[in-house]
Amino acid sequence: MRVIICGVPGVGKSTVMNIVAEKSSHPIVNFGTVMFEEAKERGLATHRDEMRKLPMDVQRELQRNAAKKIGEMSSALIDTHLSIKTPYGYFPGLPKHILAEIRPHLIVVIEAPPEIIADRRGRDEDRIRDADEIRAIKEQQEINRYLAAAASVITGANIIFVENKEGKAEEAANKILKAMGVI
C-alpha cells in the first residue's frame, strides 16, 4: 500500500518511518529527496532546505514531477509534508492534483508538543532550520490538521493522528503498523 506520513519538520517522521519500514517491508520514499534530485540536476538548489525558498512556480513543477514518480510505486511509505513554510505563505504539500498522482491508502499525521519539536530541531545539526518559535510550530500543526482532513476527503483514505512521544518512537510506529493492518 501507499502510505503518506507527514508532520511538521523535526517531529520525527523519518525516525518513526524507519521502524515502520523495517517491520512492514515497505520501501521509504522521501518526497523532498525526489524533488531535490531534480532541483540539483537543474542547478536550482544546492541544499534541500533551499527548495522552499525557490519561486512558487518552480516549487510547483518540482512537486508535480516528484508526485508522478512516486505514484508509480506500488507500495511505499511516503515521507512528506502537509504544508511547507515558504516566504510566500504555506504551500500545500498534498493538493488535489498531487493526491491524484499518489493515490494514498492511508494518511498518517505525526504530532508532538511544540516544545519537544523545537528541542528535536535543535538536536539536528545537519539541517538548516528557520528560527521558528514555539507559537509558529503550534500554528503549523493546527493548519496541518485542516489540510489532512481535506486530503482524506479528497482521496477517501483513512487518516490517523499519532503522537511521537519522547523516547517512544517504537510505540508511534506500532500505531501506524496497526492502521496498515500489519500487526
- Which parts of this chain interact with ligand ATP (CB under 6 A)? 7, 9-15, 120, 123-124, 127, 164, 166-169
User: Residue 80, interface with ligand AMP (CB under 6 A)?
Assistant: yes
> What, of ligand AMP, Mg ion, ligand ATP, none, does residue 63 touch, CB below 5 to 8 Å by kind?
ligand AMP
Among 12, 93, 104, 114, binds ligand AMP (CB under 6 A): 93
- What does the block give as the cell for 90? 504555506
Of 25-33, 101-109, 133-141, 144-152, which segment contacts ligand AMP by CB under 6 A?
Answer: 25-33
Q: How far is CA 173 from CA 62, 65, 66, 88, 146, in A?
A: 29, 29, 25, 34, 23
Interface with ligand AMP (CB under 6 A), residue from 35, 44, 112, 151: 35
In the complex, least distance from residue 118 CB atom to ligand ATP, rounded to whole angstroms: 11
For ligand AMP, the closer CB: 120 or 182: 120
